[in-house]
Homo-oligomer: A and B are copies of this chain.
Amino acid sequence: MIDLDGIDPGLQAGVTALAAEMRAQGYQRSDPVREIPALLGDRWTTLILLVLDIGCWRHAELRRVLGRLGAEGRISQRVLTLKLRTLERDGLVRRLSTADVPPKVSYELNDLGRSLVGESRRLIDWVQGNAARIAAAREAFDRQRTPSALS
Which residues of A are in contact with B by a Cβ distance under 8 Å?
A: 2-5, 7-8, 10-11, 14-15, 18-19, 22, 24-27, 29-37, 39-43, 46-47, 50-51, 54-55, 57, 61, 64-65, 68-72, 88-91, 112, 115-116, 119-120, 122-124, 126-138, 140-142
Contacts and interface: CB of A to CB of B under 8 A. Distances in A.
A68 B135 CA distance: 33
Given A4-B65, A133-B91, A36 B124 contact: yes
Contact of A57 (B2, B11, B19): B11
Number of copies: 2
Contacts of A64: 4-5, 7
A26 B8 CA distance: 41
Given A123-B36, A126-B116, A141-B89, A71 B31 contact: yes
B68 A34 contact: no
B19 A69 contact: yes
A71 B2 CA distance: 12
